[in-house]
Amino acid sequence: MRARQRRGLTIAELIVGMVIFGIIGMAIMRVMVMQARYFDHQKQGNLARNVSRGPLNRLVSDIRMVEAEGGISAATSSAITARVPYALGVVCNSDATGTNISLLPVDSAMYAEPGYSGYAGRNGMSKYRYVMSGTISAGSLTDCNNAGITTLSSDLAKIIRISPKLNDSATVGTPVFLLRNIKYEFKPSTLVPGGTGLYRTVVDAGTSEELSAPFASDASFKFFVGTALTAQSSPPADLSTLRGFELNMTGLSEKTPRQSFAQAPAPFVTAVFFKNRLN
């Protein structure tokens, strides 16, 4: 018995099959393109959010430490300069040329960082008096022990001497802090040419660091003044009336997402208030 011959594909069947496979392939390709576009938008959006979140802790930790009435020395909508404490202590004693201070425990790396700007001590009116100059040298542990300042053991004590001396109302136990002038500023970025970056500058050390970029062109500082609940765009003439800042830190992606005409934005607005304001 002869085996039955098997029929092959006709040209018509081959063409129909190719058309079907083409339609399926185009559908799969369209799905893949849409997925790639979606993931690219997600990636650029995450990068834009990281632009704002990255420097936030650094900025907030500095600003919240400043003394409420005299801690901000200059302010515009694009830049602020703060007198940021980096070491705290109390007065042991004073003489004609200087004051001995017993410092509380402090991060050695922070203490050794360059950029000393001055010091401040509380006067008899419970106001801090700033001395934006002066020198720091080794102090006398014996003088502090004699004054009854025994917060630290002799092995761990860091006793310093500041000159010129604090005013006459600074008695034993008066709080004192050492400070650095720190400037935060929005200006053209070097990391992302054409973008806006946020810079942190230790003024007296002359060192500047670009913390993050790019930000939207309207990135800025706004100002809470007195008892107002809404931040104003311009700083007050009297900076001692500041209660805090509103930070407009809208971040942008470095690249434009696929089939988009602009960088992906990540709107970000937050507020920072001084912790130690009494009124």
Q: What is the pLDDT of residue 113?
A: 86
Q: What is the pLDDT of residue 200?
A: 95
Q: What is the amino acid identity at position 191? A: L
Q: What is the pLDDT of residue 138?
A: 84
Give the N- to C-terminal CA distance of the chain in Å, as an integer: 110
Per DSSP, 108 falls in state: H
Nearest residue to 240 (alpha-carbon basis) of 74, 52, 39, 43: 74
Q: Render pLDDT for 183-230 as a digit per residue (tens, 0 to 9).
A: 999 999 999 898 999 999 999 988 999 999 999 999 999 999 988 889
Q: What is the pLDDT of residue 51?
A: 84
Number of H-type helices and E-type strands within the chain: 3, 15
- Phi, psi at residue 240, to the nearest 5°? -70, -10
Query: 175-188 and 118-122: which strand pairing?
Result: antiparallel
Please identify every stretch of the chain with a pLDDT value under 70, giving residue numbers as ranges.
Answer: 1-8, 124-125, 151-157, 168-169, 278-279
Q: What is the pLDDT of residue 8?
A: 67
Q: What is the pLDDT of residue 6?
A: 60
Q: What is the pLDDT of residue 49?
A: 82
Q: pTM higher than 0.85, yes or no?
A: no
Q: What is the pLDDT of residue 197?
A: 93
Q: Render pLDDT for 59-84 as a digit per residue (tens, 0 to 9).
A: 888 888 888 888 899 999 999 999 99
